[in-house]
Amino acid sequence: MGIDFELLHKIKGVIECPSPDKDIRRFDANLRLFPPFLDNDMCPLTIKNTLLQSCYLRNTEWACGVAVYTGNETKLGMSRGIAEPKLTAVDAMIDKLTGAIFVFQIVVVIVLGIAGNIWKNTEAKKQWYVEYPNESPWYELLIIPLRFELLCSIMIPISIKVSLDLVKSLYAKFIDWDDQMVDLETRIRSHATNTAISEDLGQVEYILTDKTGTLTENKMIFKRCCIRGTFYGNENGDALSDAELLNAVSTGSTDVIQFLKVMAICNTVVPIQSNTGVISYKAQSQDEEALVRAAASLHMVFVNKNGNVLEINFNGLLLRYEVLDILEFTSDRKRMSVVVKCCLSGKIYLLSKGADEAILPLARSGQQTRTFSEAVEQYAQLGLRTLCLASRELDDDEYREWSLMFKEANSKLVDREWRVAEVCQRLEHDFEILGVAAIEDRLQDGVPETISTLRKAGINFWMLTGDKQNTAIQIALSCNFVSPEPKGQLLLLSGKTEDEVCRSLERVLLTMRITNTEPKDVAFVVDGWALEIALKHYRKAFTELAILSRTAICCRVTPSQKAQLVELLKSCDYRTLAIGDGGNDVRMIQQADIGVGISGREGLQAARAADYSIGKFRFLTRLILVHGRYSYNRTAFLSQYSFYKSLLICFIQIFFSFISGVSGTSLFNSVSLMAYNVFYTSIPVLVSVLDKDLSENTVMQHPQILFYCQAGRLLNPSTFAGWFGRALFHAIVVFVITIHSFVFEKSEMEEVSMVALSGCIWLQAFVVALETNSFTILQHLAIWGNLVAFYAINLIVSAIPSSEMHTIMFRLCRQPLYWTTIILITMAGMGPVLALKYFRYTYRSSKINILQQAERLGGPILSLGNIESQSRSLEKDISPLSISQPKNRNPVYEPLLSDSPSATRRSIGPGTPFDFFQSQTRLSSTYMRNSKDN
Amino acid sequence: MNSNTPSSSAGGIGSADTTGARRNSKRPKYSRFTQQELPACKPILTPKWVISAFLLVSIVFIPIGVVSLYASRDVVEIVHRYDTDCIPADARNDKVGFIQSPRVKTCNRTLRVPKYMKKPIYIYYQLDNFYQNHRRYVKSRSDQQLRKTGSENDTSACKPEDNNGMTIVPCGLVAWSLFNDTYNFTRNNQLLAINKRGISWKSDRDHKFGKDVYPKNFQNSTLIGGAHLDPLKPLSEQEDLIVWMRTAALPTFRKLYGKIETDLQAGDFINVTLENNYNTYSFDGKKKLVLSTTSWLGGKNDFLGKAYLTVGGLCFFLATWRSIIFVMESESRSLNKLLTDILVNAFLGTT
């Protein structure tokens, strides 16, 4: 406004603004300054005049401003929202199991409490040496149950939470440290913001991905164009080197020059000239930058922007244009326009560019737009992004009249956006269509491979994009998202009205159900409009479709629709992963079970909101197959093991209560109990964070193995029952052997307690060793070092005269009886476990076992066909176990000692080696399950 | 037309080349731990491995079992139950009444030595169905009080035998119910000396029971539990009490009474004069007198030997069974292969 610097502090005025809201795209306010500066002239303030909290101001050294909202009332503060804490499926399962154990504990306490009171009233009364008083108040009845409650409280391992937190943060660190997930171009490392949900990565079933910037590089390059019906760049695929176009530019073809002018002017790009004279462009939109660059290389160089005046250098000729108004791009309007005045001729032009459906219908009557729509069609087929360029010369009067309306609309407080759009509409008509520009957005490295690998791992992909349907489909084809005909089939779900959508939906569903029995890649394609209707009115049918379909392409969807789709899949009990790079993906990323952000060109917004940020889409394979899978396996073992060891010691206490008059005597002293949970048993198992059942290469080559994680095969009630059984069995072994070896004169309390405790320690060390798949030096240190530490600690405690167990450990260690008992406990406890594990390994070997075998015995990994035939020959001698029923996602019955179960098996023909997760069975079973739920 | 379809392969190669050089400059210090690539040994359950493990266990276990069984067999043990026999015939209907009455309870028993018993011969008393591990019982003691004179009044844990007007030393149910049967042995009318020194743990005498703590006010209340203590002897010398205070974890237990320091010949008859004072009748407990020698493994107990033999035997069985199957399988596999080859050759005529 040209106010003097000294007068700045004297400005007085009023800002009328709406009450704080969380819409960061809108700020409809007015500024009114008091005299003497400007008389009551309303000055519209929009989001363009606004700086949001924690924004960076660029390209200027200073700015004057007024704080409008502060603190939590800022737009960012309002929209911050409380990020829902994410709970992994594994955690949910652990919680469930904890609940079950709690119920079991209560039952045990009640039963033992009643038994204890009965024993007390019958037997204990006769035992004079216990001196039970003859009469006691009623609440004495509660004492024995309470004692048992105290005794059984260790049944629920408290240490599990601590251990899990510890290992989870280590999983996250492994992701941060991973050298193979560093983007070498941008030097961005992968980062796990949320350290608590790594296990979920291994259980992902659906990946919802953004297209631009996620699958593609978001590096726009102007490739082709069609100017007035002439196609450029079709021969060599690059219009910039098309001799015909260069020729047209040098001969000064009006159409071409006009086209180039729109390319260079109709944008919000800021050129920055460095000292060496090289011009670089700063643009909010990658498309605009691509256009300006292309124009520059065609000798229409956008040199300078001085206030509102643009300088264009065309073949050495300096053209100046004054920008009068900018009609902003919005996702509803799908076009943007500028009104410029040529400084030479004084003529006013409206220059527009936008999506074909937003421009072509507005062509002046008489102009044929067919060539352009054909061009758009053709370019979209190639997966290029298209922009239609148009212009119109305006009368001075028309402009002046419109300008007033525009200003008025811009200073509206209510519905400003809508009003502005309406006013813009009034100017944007009768276009002279100049041509179509096609911009290529290259696929990122390794995207097709990533998608096909993860698809093999049984993960379903949905693409959610704001782009055109055709572009989306082309990208989908080029990155293995959908297979080309005849293998793949695309089902279009479209329609503008409820009826149309309904009919279309039914048709798609019908086809989907039929083709489910065929090994065919079926995907459905839906656009934002039909999606809106489907979600609103036919939610149930659409949900069914979502369950049936492994692949979907949703185009023209808004950020909130993306989030709704995530919500829909989550409501069907699927684990979803959303990956995106831009601000429009933030909601989807936050909504999904796992949000992955790509720290790309569209800034860090998505990466900040996400649980994991990676540099490139292809790192997703490693993130899921390596980190997710290992995390799941490790946590599954660690959590169940924690229950096992607590149950083991608790069962022994319960057994002991039967030979101690059900009085609630603790066999173990409190120090041992505490050290057992905190120390002896938690340290060896912590190193299971380094365990790898299969090498990374094997997993990458056979991604199907992820199925075990997805279906929760390693941690579910039946595997837990196995661990429960193991705890019971081991408790019986320890208890029975102890009380039969240390009998009569040796049945001294402290000694018996120490023998039982050492038995538990030895057993658990061997259990950890048996369940460990790969021993590094750290594992050996932790497992065997822990045993040594156990003896060292107990010997030290035994040396303290005032301790309860003074000299006990020295006495025991000198006795051959002690050592023979311990060896017996260990072997009697581990022998059956080893035998059962071995039998399952040979006769009911899971695919993990087969791969382990191949990996470790075969040197170079055998082809899977060989593995299959080998395993089948082993299967011959047992009863026919092949189950023809479809594989259920729900865990099935597992025998004792389950850790990597594969109770259902299907006989696999030689023709389909290793294809054990045939899509249709899985789908139909999940479908059946879900329809039941509904 | 299709020449310009976005394809990743071309781009992939290009970018790999340009970034290859930068690789080293950016990478942080490589560590096998951070990359989860520590060298690891990855055993799997191969038949050979499992069979040899089981075989090894059986090879180790069976000899140990045999040796333990022999050790247990070498122990000579005389167990004599006397609780019923030592009640006079007229009082057998009311055993509890008899034991609580002030009648003379001396009782003579004769034991026959079945085998040569080498000294030292340990004398135990064995109680059955006696819950020394009952929570109420096992907690009812004060280790502080036993150790130091100063902590005499530290009797909070000892209820209900903590004081009877004055503090009881040693307090608590455990001490109160001290076993009080006594035994005297004669062989051929010659008294067999019983050594009652050193029957308790040395560490208990030195550290747990004070040398300057004397019994006080013990068994003075109306309800008398078990044995009385010599108030002139410090607790550290009351070895019967020290033994008794080491509570047993099982309801059937033996406690050392003394040692006989002479050899006993096979066929010797030993007369035992015992004072049958202790009341096990109210809870149907048994009382036994046990004379036993020891082996390197302790007393007579076949359990360990039998368990070792069982586990070893099972392991051996498992190992043999698995190896037979393993051999058969590999043979049938090669046989199958041979047969297929022959058939293929016969039908197709290929060589």
Residue A553 bridge partners (DSSP): A463, A525
The minimal CB distance from A806 to the residues B30, B207, B256 is found for B207
Q: Determine, for residues A745 and B299 on separate chains, whether the beta-carbon distance falls below 8 Å.
A: yes
B58-78 burial: b if 16+ Cβ within 10 Å, else e: beebbebbebbbebbeebbbb
Collect all residues of chain A within an 8 Å Cβ-Cβ radius of residue B54: 831, 835
Q: Determine, for residues A663 and B307 on separate chains, whether the beta-carbon distance falls below 8 Å.
A: no
Tokens describing residue B323: 């190896």
Q: B7 to chain A nearest CA, in Å? A: 7
Average pLDDT, chain A: 80
Q: Determine, for residues A827 and B301 on separate chains, whether the beta-carbon distance falls below 8 Å.
A: no
A354 annotated as belonging to a binding site for a ligand: no
Average pLDDT over residues A161-189: 88
Question: How high is the pLDDT of residue B26?
Answer: 44
Cis amide bond preceding A137, omega within 30:
no
Question: How high is the pLDDT of residue A518?
Answer: 66
Q: A144 to chain B nearest CA, in Å? A: 10
From A816, which residue of chain B is nearest by alpha-carbon distance? B297
Collect all residues of chain B within an 8 Å Cβ-Cβ radius of residue A776: 38-40
Check pLDDT > 90 for residue A102. yes
Collect all residues of chain B within an 8 Å Cβ-Cβ radius of residue A853: 44
Q: A768 to chain B nearest CA, in Å? A: 14
Average pLDDT over residues A823-827: 93
A329 annotated as belonging to a binding site for a ligand: yes
Collect all residues of chain A within an 8 Å Cβ-Cβ radius of residue B12: 445-446
Question: ∠A210-A216-A218 over CA atoms, to 5°?
Answer: 100
Q: Determine, for residues B46 and A747 on separate chains, whether the beta-carbon distance falls below 8 Å.
A: no
Check pLDDT > 50 for residue A916. no
Tokens describing residue A872: 């089948």
From B288, which residue of chain A is nearest by alpha-carbon distance? A744
Q: Determine, for residues B283 and A128 on separate chains, whether the beta-carbon distance falls below 8 Å.
A: yes
From A475, which residue of chain B is nearest by alpha-carbon distance? B6
Q: Determine, for residues A659 and B248 on separate chains, whether the beta-carbon distance falls below 8 Å.
A: no
Check pLDDT > 70 for residue A855. yes
Span A396-453, pLDDT tens digits:
888 888 888 888 888 777 777 788 888 888 888 888 888 888 888 778 888 888 888 8
Q: Determine, for residues B12 and A446 on separate chains, whether the beta-carbon distance falls below 8 Å.
A: yes
Contact A283, A270 (CB under 8 A): yes
Which residue among the candidates A210, A325, A527, A691 is catalytic per the annotation?
Answer: A210
* Whole-angstrom distance, CA of residue A285 vs CA of residue A304: 18
Q: Determine, for residues A739 and B38 on separate chains, whether the beta-carbon distance falls below 8 Å.
A: no
Q: Determine, for residues B297 and A820 on separate chains, whether the beta-carbon distance falls below 8 Å.
A: yes
Helix, strand or coil for residue A223? Answer: strand
Q: Determine, for residues A747 and B250 on separate chains, whether the beta-carbon distance falls below 8 Å.
A: yes
Q: Sorting pLDDT into bands at 50, 70 and 90, what band is A603?
A: low
- Residue A385 touches chain B, beta carbons under 8 Å: no
The minimal CB distance from B250 to the residues A739, A773, A835 is found for A739
Q: Determine, for residues A873 and B45 on separate chains, whether the beta-carbon distance falls below 8 Å.
A: no
The minimal CB distance from A752 to the residues B28, B38, B249 is found for B249
The ipTM is 0.87
Percent of residues, chain A, with pLDDT higher than 70: 87
From B148, which residue of chain A is nearest by alpha-carbon distance? A802
Gyration radius of chain B's alpha carbons: 36
- Residue A127 touches chain B, beta carbons under 8 Å: yes
Collect all residues of chain A within an 8 Å Cβ-Cβ radius of residue B11: 442-443, 445
A179 annotated as belonging to a binding site for a ligand: no
pLDDT in tens, chain B (351 residues): 333 333 333 333 333 333 333 334 344 556 888 888 888 888 888 888 889 999 999 999 999 999 999 999 899 999 999 888 888 888 888 888 888 888 888 889 899 999 999 888 999 999 999 998 898 888 888 888 888 888 788 888 887 877 777 888 888 888 888 998 899 999 888 888 899 888 988 888 888 888 888 888 888 877 888 888 888 888 888 899 999 999 999 999 999 999 999 998 888 899 999 888 888 888 888 999 999 998 888 888 889 999 999 999 999 998 998 888 888 888 887 777 777 777 777 766 544
From A753, which residue of chain B is nearest by alpha-carbon distance? B249
- Residue A842 touches chain B, beta carbons under 8 Å: yes
A467 annotated as belonging to a binding site for a ligand: yes
Q: Sorting pLDDT into bands at 50, 70 and 90, what band is A823?
A: very high
Q: Determine, for residues A447 and B201 on separate chains, whether the beta-carbon distance falls below 8 Å.
A: no
Q: Determine, for residues A663 and B124 on separate chains, whether the beta-carbon distance falls below 8 Å.
A: no
Strands of the B182-187 sheet, one edge to the other: B106-112, B269-275, B182-187, B190-192
The minimal CB distance from A835 to the residues B34, B135, B318 is found for B318
- Residue A803 touches chain B, beta carbons under 8 Å: no
Span A762-792, pLDDT tens digits:
999 999 999 888 888 888 999 999 999 999 9
Check pLDDT > 50 for residue A28. yes
Q: Sorting pLDDT into bands at 50, 70 and 90, what band is A920?
A: very low
- Residue A670 touches chain B, beta carbons under 8 Å: no
Collect all residues of chain B within an 8 Å Cβ-Cβ radius of residue A805: none
Span A794-807, pLDDT tens digits:
999 888 888 888 88
Question: How high is the pLDDT of residue A663?
Answer: 87
Contact B71, B297 (CB under 8 A): yes
Question: How high is the pLDDT of residue A24?
Answer: 65
Q: A279 to chain B nearest CA, in Å? A: 25
* Whole-angstrom distance, CA of residue A657 vs CA of residue A434: 92
Angle between helix A254-265 and helix A243-251 axes, rounded to 10 deg: 100
Span A213-264, pLDDT tens digits:
788 887 788 888 888 878 888 777 787 788 888 888 888 788 888 888 888 8
* Whole-angstrom distance, CA of residue B162 vs CA of residue B139: 12
- Residue A690 touches chain B, beta carbons under 8 Å: yes
Span A269-319, pLDDT tens digits:
888 887 777 888 877 777 888 888 888 888 888 888 877 888 888 888 888
Disruptive mutation site among A151, A618, A744, A874 for chain B (greatest number of B CBs within 10 Å)? A744
Q: A583 to chain B nearest CA, in Å? A: 25
Question: How high is the pLDDT of residue B349?
Answer: 55
Strands A206-210 and A576-580: parallel
- Residue A169 touches chain B, beta carbons under 8 Å: no
pTM higher than 0.80: no
What is the number of residues in chain B? 351
Average pLDDT over residues A605-634: 88
Collect all residues of chain A within an 8 Å Cβ-Cβ radius of residue B286: none
**Where is A209: in which H helix or E strand?**
strand A206-210
Angstrom CA distances, A788 to A104, A765, A800, stand at 34, 11, 19
Question: How high is the pLDDT of residue A829?
Answer: 92
Residues 6+ apart with CB under 8 A from A355: A334, A335, A386, A387, A388, A468
- Residue A859 touches chain B, beta carbons under 8 Å: no
Span A530-554, pLDDT tens digits:
888 888 888 888 888 888 888 888 8
Strands of the A576-580 sheet, one edge to the other: A191-192, A612-614, A594-598, A576-580, A206-210, A460-464, A551-555, A521-527, A488-493
The minimal CB distance from B135 to the residues A123, A664, A823 is found for A664
- Residue A418 touches chain B, beta carbons under 8 Å: no
Collect all residues of chain A within an 8 Å Cβ-Cβ radius of residue B7: 443, 478
Q: B231 to chain A nearest CA, in Å? A: 22
Question: How high is the pLDDT of residue A39?
Answer: 57
Residues 6+ apart with CB under 8 A from A235: A242
Average pLDDT over residues A823-848: 87
Average pLDDT over residues A125-142: 82
Q: Determine, for residues B41 and A775 on separate chains, whether the beta-carbon distance falls below 8 Å.
A: yes
Check pLDDT > 90 for residue A755. yes
Question: How high is the pLDDT of residue A863?
Answer: 40
- In DSSP notation, B301-344 reads --HHHHHHHHHHHHHHHHHHHHHHHHHHHHHHHHHHHHHHHHHH
Q: Chains A and B: how many Cβ contacts under 8 Å?
A: 265
A562 annotated as belonging to a binding site for a ligand: yes
Contact A509, A544 (CB under 8 A): yes
Residue A611 falls in the annotated catalytic set? no
Collect all residues of chain A within an 8 Å Cβ-Cβ radius of residue B146: none
Q: Which residue has the tokens 């070997």?
A: A845
Q: A100 to chain B nearest CA, in Å? A: 29
